[in-house]
Amino acid sequence: MLVRREGVFYARVQHGGHKVVADDQGFVVHWPHHGKIRYSTARQTLIAIANGEPSPKASHHDPKITFDRYFRSHTKTLTSPYTCDVFALFSPKVSVEEPTIRIKSSPELSIEPPVVRGIDLAKRGHEVRKLFFAGYGRRVLRYGYDPEDVLQDIYQGILVRNLGKCPFDPSKSSFGHYVHMICGCIVSNYRRRYSRLERNEQFGVASHDGEILDVGESDLAVSDPNQDDELGQMMFTNTLSTEVRREAECRDLCPDLTETCMTLMIQGHRKGEIARITGEIPILIAKILKLIRTVAGEWR
């Protein structure tokens, strides 16, 4: 006796996951490129699905398993949870109730709230401020920076990290340790940024006593140029030119070209510009500039 299940089934993943509809006339497989094809027996259906061939032949592999075993975990039947006689629908005593699901309460079952990642500065901003001043307040004052400005950078860094890949996670670290780590990074970056400005920029001018004054408060507009500085610079240039010419003659280099390169170098021109002005090759200019630097270092 042939037993046949009716419903909707799906082939296994390794066989393509095709949709299979079983009815009283056979089995219909929904192939992606060939459409719907009907098979009269379950054996033909399984051979076609296992070999990926809509038209199976005698030489194709036979999986040799039953239809129910093949679809044991891939079934989706069309059965309804409500079953009753057709004539019973007209009886006033028959009522169909929806099934109710009851969950037995257990003292061991508890729902934990989701873990909130990041720091809400509106609620914990004062804690960040206390941790910053306790750990880095004296260091920032020793550097000469305004602690409030550094604190704003720390707030900004926390907000950026809240939206990034490393927000605060209470399951990985404590609040104090995380804030202390952020403060250390921000203070180091702040120090590095303004140290670079201090090395390359001068804020204000020096007075006669060596004190740094604001340009608006200085007397640069009414002060005459210092003639002594210009005279000293001229004497330095003439002496260095004499030394450079003598060293150039010892190394078989043109003294006049060497002096011209030294003058252009003092004016701030680079190797490429000096080569373009003098019309010489860059290799020769580089050799002369190296000679000038060596003589200047030894003479100083």
Q: How far apart, in whole angstroms, are the C-alpha atoms of residue 258 and residue 244?
A: 7
Give the pLDDT confidence of 107-147 residue by residue, as tens digits.
555 555 666 788 999 999 999 999 999 999 999 998 888 99
Q: How far apart, in whole angstroms, are the C-alpha atoms of residue 248 and residue 287?
A: 11
Q: How far apart, in whole angstroms, are the C-alpha atoms of residue 22 and residue 70?
A: 14
Residue 216, pLDDT above cutoff 90: no
- What was the pLDDT predicted at 3? 44
Residue 83, pLDDT above cutoff 70: no
- What was the pLDDT predicted at 187? 93
Q: How far apart, in whole angstroms, are the C-alpha atoms of residue 67 and residue 20?
A: 11
Longest dimension (CA), the chain: 127
Pair of tokens at residue 135: 């750990």
In the chain, which ranges are continuous DSSP H helix? 42-51, 67-70, 121-143, 147-162, 175-200, 227-250, 255-266, 271-278, 282-299
pLDDT-based confidence at 80, cuts 50/70/90? very low
- What was the pLDDT predicted at 74? 46
Mean pLDDT of 255-281: 86
Q: How far apart, in whole angstroms, are the C-alpha atoms of residue 212 and residue 202?
A: 9
Residue 103, pLDDT above cutoff 60: no
Pair of tokens at residue 204: 């204000």
More confident residue, 214 or 67: 67
Looking at every residue in the chain, the average pLDDT score rounds to: 79
Q: Work out the percent of the chain whose per-residue pLDDT is above 90.
A: 17
